[in-house]
Structure 1
Amino acid sequence: MSIMKDHDFDRAMGARIREARTVAKLSQGALGETIGCSFQQVQKYELGRDRVSAQVLARIAAALGREPGEFFEGVQVDTKVVPMSPATIRRHLSVAEQIEGLTPDARRRVMDLVALLPRTAAEEPAGPAEHADAALPHAA
């Protein structure tokens, strides 16, 4: 049994759903109609682009004549939890509260910016960054 990361798990779950749907000889549209969503949404689940909730998985399993647990057989999920200190939790909550206080457009722009930031030290750009903020506009 191999341990899967979230995105790998979503793709594996989607492949299992697609396989079960194919065996049941149902189209994506027919499955979507049965579970109350569009064929496009079924396609997103099958490709692992959207995570399948427990409630949706139960509907899918029922529509395909399966038990929900069958979709998990042989899969071990990465369950490593990284503990956070109380100070880190407070800092995260403070940032979240500040973001919630922004206008919807400003929130979107902040989230776009955050999406561009490196996630690990390996993703950091090489070279000195001591003057990196000099080009940023400052609030008056």
Structure 2
Amino acid sequence: MAHPIDLHVGARLRQRRCLLGMTQQRLADAVGIKFQQIQKYESGANRVSASRLWTLSEALQVPVSFFFEGLSQHEREEIVQQHGFAEDDETFIAPEVFTSKETIDLIRAYYNMSEGPRRRLLDLAKTLGSAA
């Protein structure tokens, strides 16, 4: 079974790669490995070494710390899943939400808008969310 930190790092790797519109093959070519290795990293099946994490961070144009951001949320979710506790925090977003193609497409579309329409869309989303 994969360690929760390896799963988190893999999810962050996939999230950034997808946000950049980069294929596993293109990322693998950029860091000099096979795309199957990227698949294993993203699934948490293989751990990412420190030197490889450094190379991946350069290829994805993020600091190494990016891969560990939000780890406390991930750990909290693991506790909820393992022990069946209810999640009280309404602002909590499960990390797997950010790996969905729909979420990534929404984020891309949102940031392709100018500031005015973005604010109106955000206001609309908040209104719809509170009405649900």
What is the TM-score with the length of structure 1 in the denominator?
Answer: 0.49
Deviation of 1:75 after TM superposition, in Å, equals: 1.9
Matched-pair contact (CA < 8 Å) for 2:12–2:66: no
Matched-pair contact (CA < 8 Å) for 2:8–2:67: no
Q: 1:64 aligns with which of 60, 66, 77?
A: 60
Q: 2:20 aligns with which of 12, 20, 24?
A: 24
Gaps of 5+ in 2: 76-132
Which amino acid letter does the alignment assign opposite residue 19 of structure 2?
V
Q: 1:40 aligns with which of 36, 47, 64?
A: 36
Partners of 1:12 and 1:51 in 2: how far apart? 11
Matched-pair contact (CA < 8 Å) for 2:57–2:63: yes
Deviation of 1:33 after TM superposition, in Å, equals: 0.5
Which amino acid letter does the alignment assign opposite residue 71 of structure 2?
V
Partners of 2:33 and 2:52 in 1: how far apart? 10
Summarize deviations over 1:24-77 as a string: whole Å, max 9, x none: 11100000010010000000000000000111111111101101111112325x
Q: What secondary structure, in the 3-state scheme, does the structure 2 residue paired with 1:55 have?
A: helix
Matched-pair contact (CA < 8 Å) for 2:16–2:60: yes
Count of matched residue positions in the alignment of Structure 1 and Structure 2: 74
Gaps of 5+ in 1: 1-5, 79-140
Match of 1:11 in 2: 7
RMSD across aligned positions (CA): 2.1
What is the TM-score with the length of structure 2 in the denominator?
Answer: 0.52
Match of 1:73 in 2: 69
Match of 1:54 in 2: 50
Q: Could you tell me the percent identity over the aligned residues?
A: 40
Moved over 3 A (4+): none
